[in-house]
Each structure stands twice: as C-alpha cells, then as structure tokens.
Amino acid sequence: MRTEIATLGEFGLIRHLTEGIEPQNRSTKYGIGDDAAVLSYPADREILVTTDLLLEGVHFDLTYVPLKHLGYKSAVVNFSDIYAMNGTPRQITVSLGLSKRFSVEDMEQLYAGIRLACEEYGVDIVGGDTTASMTGLTISITCIGDAARGEAVYRNGAKETDLICVSGDLGAAYMGLQLLEREKSVLRSSDKDVQPDFAGKEYLLERQLKPEARRDIIERLAQAGVRPTAMMDISDGLSSELLHICTQSKVGCRVYEEHIPIDYQTAVMAEEFNMNLTTCAMNGGEDYELLFTVPIADHEKMEEMEGVRLIGHITKPELGCALITRDGQEFELKAQGWNPLKEE
C-alpha cells in the first residue's frame, strides 16, 4: 500500500509521524505542536547545539540503506557530537526535504528509526519542518544537549605529554561501505537475480548502517574521575580528527600504527579488497568513536578502561603530527578522510 504525502499535507504528515511522542527530559517544557518548542535548563548547565545536513546521493545511497536505518543513523550521529563535547543529548528537531517518489509509508520507516534512536538515548523530538525537494531526500537534524558548567570538553585543550586515546575500533564502517558499494555494482552489472553475499561480514554492515554513539565511554570516564583535555568524535577519519585537535591545541602528536584498534572482520575485508589496512583505519571515517586526550597522570586508569586504547601522545608543535609505523618509520599525518566538498 502506498499513501501519497499530498493526501496528508505538511502538517498532517508531521502530526502523523510525531503522534504519541512524550517528553523524557525535564528540560523539555513544550515540544511539538506550537510555533516553537520551549526548553528550560538550570543555571548550572551549559547548553550545547549541533546540526547535521544529509543529502541523498552525497551522504547516503537508498539503493542499500534501509530508511529505518537511515533515520536511526541520522539521529545518532548528532548525539555523538554532543557526547564528544562531554555532554548529554536532550532534544532534536527534524527537518525533511521530500521528493514525490516518497510515500507516507516511507516516512513512517524513516521516523521509526529516528524515534527508536531517541528512545534508546533518552532524547526528545521537539520540532522540525517538511518541504518539497527536487533532488531526492534531504535530512537536517539539530540536536540540543547540556553539560555541567565548566565540564564541556573542546578540541583545543590538548597539552604536551598528554596521552591520545580512542574508543572501540576503526575502519569497520568504511569497509562496510566498500562492501555495500561492491554488491551494488555486482547487482547492476548482472542480469540474473543475484543475492548479495554478506555472510560473516555482519559487523561491518552494522558499523556502516547502524552506528552507535559512545555514551558508555563518557559514563566510564566520569566514573573513573577522568576529564579529557580535548575530545571529538571520528566522523571523517582518525588522521583528519587528530589534525583538528593538534591544530586547535597548537601541539604536535605521535601515533603508533601497532596500537590502532582494528577488528578482525575489517582486516579480512581490507585484504579481500587489496587495500592498506592502516590507511582504512586512519582515513575511513564514519566510525563515530571518541578520540580524546588525557593527562599522563591518568595513564593507569586508561590502561584499565574497557573499550579504550592508548594510541600515542601529544608532543611539541615543532615536531609536527606523525604516524610511527610498525618498523619505526615516521610518516607525516595527512587529512585524507572524507571531504564532501572536494573536487572529484
């Protein structure tokens, strides 16, 4: 069954998609249903705001991305930015640009993913907009969060001798994308009813299609009494994010290839594609892991923290930013991660 969006109209569609949403946060005084949402934060909290714009054909391909997964991912990548500031996401607004090929049922799927992410992370949908689009699907999400006054962590606080840490493992989302792109080209070039072969590669697909924000790491750091000196999430690739931190903190860094955390499935897939594994881990992007620096005094706590790896240290700025390979060679770090504005 297919219901044309025009049969509901803009406000009817918003009402239909947001029905039954109940605020979970005390800071949400009034959500959907008026000209603006009303939020109220205590004086001892700082308010964090981030926004993401996702365009069909640039940021996602609906050939292999289910709409429900897309909705979930669109919300989670915004939550990740708030966690990367050492904060807690509280509210989002969701704006959609829709072309005529999308039905009400399609939007139900997209919103089911957004709502699932919000339930999972305790975030309220408090508003948004829909409009016609001539270029396919456009998703714009703004996320509002908070942090205790003075507790927000920026990119510019890394100091010489600080330790560099990352959560989880790197490169899996990128290899998941390569796998999906390969299967898409196989389907296009074949006149037979070929089924994609994803057996044993489920982790890579999950990392690409349904990433999670690392709320657990923020909680662990707080429990251990560790406040990072600088932090950001890895959306464009480890190299790129490290350079952001070093540039803004006016420092250099040394990162060790042997300490970069990589999952077994990522390694197998890189070999299958004849790609350099370290390059995939350093530049792949979309991992949504946390990259952060901590004072050297927290070394022992970091060594013991589950889900976190020490990968290097911060140096004097004149030493530059370098990757030390397994055989001791030094390579200058370059931002080769994903750049949507780069000329092809």
Which domains, and CATH codes, for the chain?
Answer: 5-148 (3.30.1330.10), 163-332 (3.90.650.10)
State the Cα–Cα distance between residues 249 and 122, nearest whole angstrom.
Answer: 32
Q: Quickly state the pLDDT bin for 343 (edges 50, 70, 90).
A: low
The one-letter amino acid at 259: H
Structure confidence at residue 10 (pLDDT): 82
State the Cα–Cα distance between residues 126 and 109, nearest whole angstrom.
Answer: 19
The strand order across the sheet containing 124-132 reads 45-55, 138-148, 88-98, 124-132
Structure confidence at residue 187 (pLDDT): 79
State the Cα–Cα distance between residues 30 and 341, nearest whole angstrom.
Answer: 37
Q: State whether residue 254 is helix, strand or coil.
A: strand
pTM of the model: 0.95
Determine the average pLDDT of the residues in 40-68.
Answer: 96
Cα 187–Cα 179–Cα 306 angle in degrees, nearest 5: 155
Q: Which of 184, 152, 173, 146 is nearest to 47 (CA)?
A: 146
pLDDT digits (tens, 9 = 90+) for 130-182: 999 998 999 999 999 999 999 999 999 999 999 999 999 999 999 999 999 99
Determine the average pLDDT of the residues in 34-46.
Answer: 95
State the Cα–Cα distance between residues 238 and 290, nearest whole angstrom.
Answer: 10
Determine the average pLDDT of the residues in 102-123.
Answer: 97
